[in-house]
Amino acid sequence: MNAVLTILIGSIFVNNFAMSRFYGICPFLGVSKKLETAFGMGMAVTFVMAIASLVAYLVNQYLLIAFNLEYLQVIAFILVIAVLVQIVEMIIRKISPGLYQALGVYLPLITTNCAVLGVAQLNVTEGYNLVLSVLNGVASALGYTLAICLFAGIRERLSLGNLPKWMEGFPGAMIAAGLMAVAFNGFSGLI
């Protein structure tokens, strides 16, 4: 139970993927203009991360370790993630064409999203078992969703605000992201 709580708090707040580990910054900045799409992105990442943690664990445990091929972890995980992203893309396209349009190029970009690869790698280095791996994946993704949704809310407000011309758009967003990271830094030492 203690381990579960540690993973939850640790992955969502303390070692937040976007704000503390700085993984997945490309979609974090790219899809955070609107809260709605940001949440959609977060959910897509959550789905991919959860399944990726599961499949990556199985592949690692029963294929790579069994054949003494641990050095192939990165390439095998990328393979897993790429396939998962493809499936997610198909599902979203089927279920919600609007979200598919809104996510645009950032959806296939999850493939190369270091956050997903990062969570698979972390699970291995931390030595989590199957349940904890999936939990860590989900918790990390929820932390990412939390960060991107908060950030999208800030950006929605910023876009309405009376910013100087040179601060409009990305400059303001970058500074906002930096300040958010400082705020998330306050969680450090919690575990």
Partner 1 sequence: MSGILAIVIAALVLSILGLLFGAGLGVADHFLKVPTNPKVAELREVLPGANCGACGYPGCDGYASAVGEGKAEIGLCAVGGPACAAKMAAIMGVESNGAGTKLVATVACQGYGEHCRPKSTYEGIQDCVAAALVNSGTKACQYACLGLGTCERACPFGAIKVDPVKKIAVVDQEKCQSCKKCVAACPQHVLSMQPIDRVVTVGCHNPEKGIALKENCDRACIGCSACEKACQFDAIQMVNNVPVIDYTKCVGCMACADACPTGAMQADFDSRLEAYINQELCVGCNICNKQCKFDAIEGGLKEKHRVLGACTGCGLCAQKCPRKCITMRERRAPRNKMDKAKPLATPAKPAPAKPAPQGEKA
Q: Residue 79: which of 97, 64, 98 has the closest Cα? A: 64
34 binds partner 1 (CB under 8 A): no
- Binding part of the chain for partner 1, among 44-52, 60-68, 110-118, 171-179 by CB under 8 A, reads 60-68
**What does the per-residue mask of binding to partner 1 show for 70-89, with x meaning CB under 8 A?**
--x--xx--xx--x--xx--
Return the residue of 3, 5, 65, 90 that touches partner 1, per CB under 8 A: 90
- Which span (63-71, 106-114, 121-129, 138-146) binds partner 1, by CB under 8 A? 63-71
Contact criterion met (CB below 8 Å) for 113 and 24: yes
Q: Name which of 117 and 147 has its Cβ closer to partner 1.
A: 117
Q: Nearer to partner 1 by C-beta: 86 or 129? A: 86
Cα Rg, the chain, nearest whole Å: 17
The tokens for 76 are 């095998």
Backbone angles phi, psi at 36, to 5 degrees: -65, -50
Phi, psi angles (nearest 5°) of residue 107: -65, -55
Q: How many residues bind partner 1 (CB under 8 A)?
A: 20
Query: What is the chain's length?
Result: 191
